[in-house]
Structure 1
């Protein structure tokens, strides 16, 4: 089953390489990997395929898959447990990756997860902010009135 999955990923990686590369070169053996916009449930496959595209000519396939799997475990914790994102939330993951030839491993840094929300979700947040703002304005007016009353008593 695992080799079938790897073969599928390699085919998709080759397809990505020819259609939409999501890799930017940062230096020798160093790339910025990006998933593009995806639903959260698909991040692991997409990141693995993007890494295969970027590193397939300089690193062994087994090393890429092993190290991206470790990164994906960390991402799961961050996405599901810390950020509490749902499977259908739209995200973009970007990470800098470098192949350390001496130690035969990928080193990841500067991990970024962007969450995209719908216009409807934005509207709801905006309404909440407006309501909170109105409530705070009312409290400020009350406090100003109390302050004026106290100052008038002191005169």
Structure 2
């Protein structure tokens, strides 16, 4: 199994606060962040909002002034499988470690940390996810990346 980064390996960038349990108050800013993303093409704004509100875990990164600068969510059964969706960072905060902090926060969450297999789909962020031990799946699954854990005794 490849070495993967632990949550403690990533610092929260200065001026950023990570928050678990986002709710309907974060929907407008999240929708604005996700506007035009390739993975939500053809999905209505209402469906994207409902998907976030129905997630097992929905986290955000907020700047000191209170604005949302990043968001990510997970669907998880808490034991066998979890799917990470909609990892997004506002363009002016990209490259400063916000996505890494969000991913570390998600992977350390109780609904995710003991799950055997964590999946996500990406066309363009393989380097980010590889830092956490994700690897590309063999065909025919396509642009999916998988983090498989050897968890014994659970």
Give the TM-score taking structure 2 as reference length: 0.28
Which has the greater radius of gyration?
Answer: 1
Q: Which structure has the highest strand share of the two?
A: 2
Q: 1 or 2 for the larger relative contact order (CA 8 Å, sep ≥6)? A: 2
